[in-house]
């Protein structure tokens, strides 16, 4: 190369470098779509994705798949999971320690979204009670998109479960919609809207859920495509269904009633309905077509209800996923046509996984079972009475949380021998792996105890228990309070892999496809989306998944 050519080449490099350094920031996505599939285990992708051809397939093939993602905390349940996904923080920060917890001031258990100041705004029959986001201690991504962008985001969330729709949205929103069986249809809350939201009202009137009455849930795929057995050991469907296909969506007297609504919620028909309502939301509000970035959050609940009753290896779980694949496919096709492929970003994850059915694990020689919360409570009460003298010491047991009478904690603080006695008694209950005095979680976690660390991330002062009791692997709590599902085949809510590991897939605008095997948690989703949208989360525990950012997005990163 001549000197002149070298100078010219150097000049070109300089020009290119300058151009890169001063490139206008990549525009943010027009629409953020956050999809939560309730109870979707991470391994469902590797095990069942060969059965998919629609939206789930597109996300796996064309997205950034974090195949080792997992919640790092103990309380792997719906409300905590959704709040973690939406805020980018763990329970220790956002305060949602479970689906419900014992309120020490009120002296009773409260739901995570229970809100005495809110009333229900129904799109069907009127119902009492109210739900709202007041107990979520953090701002959500959607909240920040509303507050920080020059054109506030329109925020729409929907689910069958109120806790999922509310936790995905946050503190204000344009439409937060969920199903209420007592109302016989969908509802929202005065926390978000003082009157029915017109487009939701129009859709739900034109598409009553009862139109699905009498339908029969059959296998979508050829019978030979399903792995494992249809009627596996220990499956416990609702009384009106058997463990085998088909499953009819009938009311008791042939009319739509509570039984019909229960069957409908726990069938893929409810996912399909949410998919259609999501499409209607995009059209009605022209989501993704405004000047800013809009937010659509969808939590598909059917898989959780199906998984509890039929277990992770059931044909029903596989079929629910195969149908969800089509439902999400229809949504993606619609977004391509309206918002435009490449203009929106999707994050798909789950709020928790699920344990194998204990009877199936036990049949393989694995120590597995159901832990009765009453036994844990009784063991604590007996040990406390023996150490401190006769009296009533235990107020409540709620899953892993054991709540004591207010003065007992102080007594145990001053009496290490009594404390040891209680901890020993708790650890001796069959099915218990570990028990901690909550005040010692910090020091135990610092000393490298992984169970204490998981419990600490789920711990929120005033809401969590005074003792934290954790089941052994393949064991889970049942019947500890009204929200437990003692009749179900299986459950979740522990710190073991089957509960903690969930999919994380990012797809679309700003995302570099590929399989990423690094560790990640669902708390990384909101920071990553916030980064793509140019907003700041106040207190995230997660971090930006920078490997999955497309080069244009990384250029923005260098600029800022
Ligand atoms: Zn569940």
Q: How far is the CA of 354 from the centre of ligand 1 (A)?
A: 8
Instruction: Tell me the percentage of the chain whose pLDDT exceeds 90.
Output: 90
Please list, in sequence order, all residues whose beta carbon lies within 8 angstroms of the beta carbon of residue 234, skipping any fewer than 6 positions away.
311, 357, 358, 359, 360, 489, 490
Q: How far is the CA of 297 from the centre of ligand 1 (A)?
A: 19
Say yes or no to pLDDT of 11 above 80: no
- pLDDT class for 552, splitting at 50, 70, 90? confident
Q: How far is the CA of 237 from the centre of ligand 1 (A)?
A: 14
Would you state the pLDDT for residue 255?
Answer: 86
Q: How far is the CA of 221 from the centre of ligand 1 (A)?
A: 25
| 79 or 485, greater pLDDT | 79
Q: How far is the CA of 78 from the centre of ligand 1 (A)?
A: 6
Q: What distances in angstroms separate CA 86 from CA 89, 142, 172, 287, 387, one per listed residue?
A: 8, 8, 13, 19, 44
Q: How far is the CA of 76 from the centre of ligand 1 (A)?
A: 9
Residue 380 structure tokens: 């604590």
Q: How far is the CA of 471 from the centre of ligand 1 (A)?
A: 17
Q: How far is the CA of 274 from the centre of ligand 1 (A)?
A: 18
Q: How far is the CA of 162 from the centre of ligand 1 (A)?
A: 13
Q: How far is the CA of 353 from the centre of ligand 1 (A)?
A: 8
| Neighbour tally for 550: CB within 10 Å | 16
Q: How far is the CA of 338 from the centre of ligand 1 (A)?
A: 34
| 237 or 21, greater pLDDT | 237
- pLDDT class for 346, splitting at 50, 70, 90? very high
Calculate the average pLDDT of the chain: 93
Would you state the pLDDT for residue 482?
Answer: 39
Q: How far is the CA of 74 from the centre of ligand 1 (A)?
A: 14
DSSP one-letter string for 69-116: -B--SS--SHHHHHHHHHHS--HHHH---SSEEEETTTTEEEETTB-T
Would you state the pLDDT for residue 554?
Answer: 61
3-state secondary structure (DSSP) of residue 151: coil
Say yes or no to pLDDT of 480 above 60: no
Instruction: Tell me the percentage of the chain whose pLDDT exceeds 70.
Output: 92
Would you state the pLDDT for residue 17?
Answer: 47
| Among 123-137, 193-207, 473-487, 499-513, the least confident range | 473-487
The answer to whether 306 and 266 have CB atoms below 8 angstroms apart is yes
How many Å apart are CA 17 and CA 11, to the nearest integer? 10
- pLDDT class for 259, splitting at 50, 70, 90? very high
Say yes or no to pLDDT of 486 above 90: no
Say yes or no to pLDDT of 558 above 60: no
What global pTM score does this model have?
Answer: 0.94
SS3 track for 462-515? CCCCCEEEEECCCEEEECCCCCCCCCCCCCCCCCCHHHHECCEEEEECCECCEE
Q: What distances in angstroms separate CA 466 from CA 288, 397, 476, 549, one per listed residue?
A: 46, 10, 19, 42
Would you state the pLDDT for residue 302?
Answer: 98
- pLDDT class for 460, splitting at 50, 70, 90? very high
Would you state the pLDDT for residue 253?
Answer: 84
Query: Burial, 288: exposed, middle or buried (Cβ in 10 Å; 0-12, 13-18, 19+)?
Result: buried
Say yes or no to pLDDT of 461 above 80: yes
- pLDDT class for 284, splitting at 50, 70, 90? very high
3-state secondary structure (DSSP) of residue 152: coil
- pLDDT class for 26, splitting at 50, 70, 90? confident
Say yes or no to pLDDT of 483 above 50: no
Q: How far is the CA of 288 from the centre of ligand 1 (A)?
A: 32
Average pLDDT over residues 60-85: 98
Q: How far is the CA of 511 from the centre of ligand 1 (A)?
A: 30
Q: How far is the CA of 186 from the centre of ligand 1 (A)?
A: 20
Average pLDDT over residues 85-99: 98
Peptide bond into 246 cis (omega under 30): yes
Average pLDDT over residues 18-34: 74
Would you state the pLDDT for residue 10?
Answer: 54
Say yes or no to pLDDT of 5 above 80: no
Please list, in sequence order, all residues whose beta carbon lies within 8 angstroms of the beta carbon of residue 393, skipping any fewer than 6 positions away.
380, 381, 384, 385, 404, 405, 408
User: What confidence tens digit (pLDDT) does each residue in 362-389 have?
Assistant: 999 999 999 999 999 999 999 999 999 9
How many Å apart are CA 318 and CA 392, to the nearest integer? 48
Q: How far is the CA of 517 from the centre of ligand 1 (A)?
A: 27
User: What confidence tens digit (pLDDT) does each residue in 305-343 have?
Assistant: 999 999 999 999 999 999 999 999 999 999 999 999 999
Pairing between β-strand 432-437 and β-strand 401-404 as defined by DSSP bridges: unpaired
Would you state the pLDDT for residue 487?
Answer: 60
Say yes or no to pLDDT of 228 above 70: yes
Would you state the pLDDT for residue 353?
Answer: 98
How many Å apart are CA 48 and CA 57, to the nearest integer? 10
Please identify which residue in the block is written with the tokens 């002296």: 107
**Nearest CA-CA partner of 81 in 159, 3, 183:** 159
Average pLDDT over residues 190-201: 98
- pLDDT class for 286, splitting at 50, 70, 90? very high
Q: How far is the CA of 307 from the centre of ligand 1 (A)?
A: 8
């Amino acid at each position: 190369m001549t000197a002149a050519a070298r100078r010219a080449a150097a000049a070109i490099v300089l020009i290119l470098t300058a151009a890169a350094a001063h490139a206008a920031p990549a525009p943010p996505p027009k629409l953020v779509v956050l999809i939560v599939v309730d109870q979707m285990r991470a391994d469902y992708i590797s095990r069942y994705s060969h059965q998919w051809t629609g939206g789930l397939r597109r996300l796996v093939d064309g997205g950034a798949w974090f195949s080792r993602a997992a919640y790092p905390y103990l309380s792997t349940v719906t409300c905590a999971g959704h709040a973690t996904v939406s805020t980018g923080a763990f329970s220790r920060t956002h305060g949602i320690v479970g689906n419900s917890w014992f309120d020490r001031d009120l002296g009773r258990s409260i739901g995570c979204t229970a809100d005495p100041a809110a009333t229900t705004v129904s799109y069907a029959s009127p119902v009492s009670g109210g739900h709202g986001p007041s107990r979520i201690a953090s701002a959500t991504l959607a909240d920040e998109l509303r507050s920080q962008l020059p054109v506030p985001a329109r925020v729409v969330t929907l689910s069958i479960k109120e806790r999922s729709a509310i936790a995905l949205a946050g503190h204000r929103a344009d439409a937060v919609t969920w199903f209420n069986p007592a109302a016989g249809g969908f509802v929202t809350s005065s926390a978000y809207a003082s009157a029915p939201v017109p487009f939701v009202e129009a859709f739900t009137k034109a598409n009553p859920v009862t139109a699905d009455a009498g339908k029969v849930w059959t296998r979508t795929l050829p019978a030979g495509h399903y792995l494992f057995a249809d009627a596996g050991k220990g499956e416990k469907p609702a009384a009106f269904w058997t463990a085998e296909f088909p499953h009819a969506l009938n009311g008791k007297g042939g009319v739509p009633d509570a039984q019909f609504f229960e069957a409908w919620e726990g069938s893929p028909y409810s996912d399909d309905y949410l998919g259609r309502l999501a499409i209607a939301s995009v059209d009605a509000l022209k989501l993704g077509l405004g000047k800013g970035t809009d937010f659509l959050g969808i939590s598909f609940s059917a898989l959780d209800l199906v998984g509890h009753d039929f277990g992770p290896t059931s044909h029903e779980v596989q079929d629910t996923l195969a149908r969800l694949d089509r439902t999400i496919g229809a949504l993606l096709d619609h977004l391509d046509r309206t918002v435009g492929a490449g203009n929106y970003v999707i994050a798909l994850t789950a709020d928790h996984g699920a344990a194998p059915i204990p009877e199936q694990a036990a049949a393989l020689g694995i120590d597995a079972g159901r832990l009765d919360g009453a036994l844990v409570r009784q063991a604590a009460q007996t040990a406390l009475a023996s150490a401190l003298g006769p009296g009533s010491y235990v107020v409540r047991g709620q899953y892993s949380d054991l709540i004591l009478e207010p003065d007992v904690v102080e007594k145990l603080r001053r009496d290490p021998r009594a404390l040891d006695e209680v901890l020993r008694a708790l650890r001796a209950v069959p099915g218990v792996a570990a028990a901690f005095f909550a005040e010692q979680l910090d020091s135990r976690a610092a000393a490298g105890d992984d169970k204490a660390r998981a419990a600490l991330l789920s711990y929120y002062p005033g809401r969590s228990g005074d003792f934290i009791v954790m089941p052994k692997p393949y064991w889970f709590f049942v019947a500890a309070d009204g929200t437990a599902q003692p009749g179900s085949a299986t459950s979740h809510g522990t710190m073991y892999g089957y509960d903690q590991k969930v999919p994380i897939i990012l797809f679309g605008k700003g995302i570099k496809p590929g399989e990423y095997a690094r560790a990640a948690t669902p708390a990384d989703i909101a920071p990553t989306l916030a980064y793509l949208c140019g907003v700041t989360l106040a207190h995230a525990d997660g971090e930006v998944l920078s490997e999955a950012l497309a080069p244009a997005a990384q250029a923005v990163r260098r600029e800022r």
